[in-house]
């Protein structure tokens, strides 16, 4: 976990009682190794989405019991309860943590949105019978040995098979987000900023806005070159929140350049800010990450 508060929030989401019996399990942190533990550690590099008990429903909406303390379960058991899993195409599911009472069988299903002929039934892409809880709320974490890849043109659900006394308190899915696609710039002239013709040199403490024309893109790939510098220093490139991290360093009267991946605002802009000394600079657009 990145902080004590994040750990507290995560454990509250999955149920404070879920920590019982943690010593009975070992946690394997290897990305490709299956492991089950009482609320195992989150894996580095993953993004997490939580599904509260209230998101789970049986086939017949009237056949459902929900309580704040014990979560969701079907009125008539055994039966399935399911919740939608809204992940973007290209995501890769590597981990699932479940807080529950009893022993649910968890699964992930995918459905082809359109087959071209007839409606299609969901297909199971993951299933696991979790460890029986020990006298109350419990949590288990499973690192998927075979990851689930979210496909374009498909929808996904998380399901729990509940026998008598089994209920779901919450589910947390750890996934690797899709890789941003690269789109090369189509500009005939790649230069989008030149301080010598656009407002003068970059001054220490005064940021300058650069528009890329790439509204909606996550980041831009740009080549930043310093010119006619007054002395040693560096330029920071950033979107909305100011950064003091060097994107390109420079020395007096030398042209220095660096290829920079810089996050963009919603309108497709970013900022330049000089540190140490003033300098002229140019920015050439290479492309976007979308």
Percent of the residues in the chain that have a pLDDT greater than 90, as a whole number: 71
Please provide the DSSP assignment of 232-269 as one string. Answer: SEEEEEESSS---S-SEEE-TT--EEEEEEEE--TTSE
The answer for residues whose C-beta is within 8 angstroms of residue 217's C-beta and 6 or more apart is 183, 264, 268, 288, 289, 290
Taking every pair of Cα atoms in the chain, the longest distance, rounded to a whole number of angstroms, is 79
pLDDT at 25 over 80: no
263-285: per-residue pLDDT in tens?
999 899 999 999 999 999 999 99
Separation of alpha carbons 140 and 134, rounded Å: 12
Of 1.10.3470, 2.60.40, 3.30.300, 2.60.120, which CATH number belongs to 182-289? 2.60.120
Domain topology for 4-176: Jelly Rolls (2.60.120)
168-223: per-residue pLDDT in tens?
999 999 999 887 788 999 999 999 999 999 999 999 999 999 999 998 888 999 99
Q: What mean pLDDT do residues 235-249 have? A: 92
Q: Could you give the 3-state DSSP secondary structure of residue 24?
A: helix
Phi/psi for 33 (5° steps) reads: -105, 130
CA atoms within 13 A on the CB side of 272: 32
Q: What is the mean pLDDT of the chain?
A: 86
Q: List b or e across 35-71, with b for residues whose CB sees 16 or more CB atoms inside 10 angstroms.
A: bbbbbbebbeebeeeebebebbbbeeeeebbeeeebb
Separation of alpha carbons 244 and 250, rounded Å: 15
pLDDT at 26 over 70: no
Identical fold between 4-176 and 182-289: yes
Phi/psi for 31 (5° steps) reads: -60, -35
Residue 38 banded pLDDT, cuts 50, 70, 90: low
Q: What is the pLDDT of residue 237?
A: 96
98-154: per-residue pLDDT in tens?
999 999 999 999 999 988 888 889 999 999 999 998 778 999 999 999 999 999 999
pLDDT at 61 over 50: yes
Separation of alpha carbons 34 and 42, rounded Å: 13
Residue-range domain boundaries for the chain: 4-176, 182-289
Q: Could you give the 3-state DSSP secondary structure of residue 92?
A: strand
pLDDT at 3 over 90: no
* 173 in Cβ contact with 96 (< 8 Å): yes
Element spanning 12, H or E? helix 4-14
Question: Looking at the DSSP assignment, which residues form a beta bridge with residue 107?
Answer: 127, 159
């Amino acid at each position: 976990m990145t902080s004590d508060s994040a750990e507290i929030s995560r454990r509250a989401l999955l149920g404070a009682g879920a920590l019982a019996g943690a010593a009975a399990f070992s946690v394997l942190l290897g990305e490709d190794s299956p492991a089950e533990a009482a609320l195992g550690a989150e894996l580095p590099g993953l993004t997490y989405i939580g599904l509260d008990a209230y998101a789970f429903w049986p086939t017949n909406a009237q056949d459902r019991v929900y309580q704040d303390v014990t979560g969701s379960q079907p009125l008539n058991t055994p039966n399935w309860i399911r919740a939608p899993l809204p992940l973007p195409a290209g995501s890769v599911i590597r981990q699932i943590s479940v807080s529950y009472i009893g022993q649910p069988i968890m699964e992930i299903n995918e459905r082809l949105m359109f087959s071209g002929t007839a409606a299609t039934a969901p297909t199971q892409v993951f299933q696991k019978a979790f460890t029986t809880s020990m006298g109350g709320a419990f949590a288990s974490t499973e690192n998927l040995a075979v990851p689930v890849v979210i496909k374009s043109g498909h929808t996904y659900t998380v399901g729990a098979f509940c026998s008598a006394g089994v209920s779901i308190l919450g589910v947390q899915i750890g996934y690797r987000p899709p890789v941003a696609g690269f789109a090369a710039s189509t500009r005939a002239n790649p230069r989008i900023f030149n301080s010598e013709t656009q407002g003068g040199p970059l001054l220490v403490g005064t940021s300058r806005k650069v528009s890329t024309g790439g509204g909606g893109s996550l980041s831009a790939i740009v080549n930043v070159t310093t010119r006619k510098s007054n002395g040693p220093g560096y330029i920071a490139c950033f979107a909305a929140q100011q950064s003091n991290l060097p994107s390109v360093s420079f020395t007096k009267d030398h042209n220095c350049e660096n290829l920079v991946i810089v996050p963009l605002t919603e309108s497709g802009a970013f900022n330049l800010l000089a540190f140490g000394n003033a300098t002229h600079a140019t920015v050439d657009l290479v492309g976007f990450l979308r």
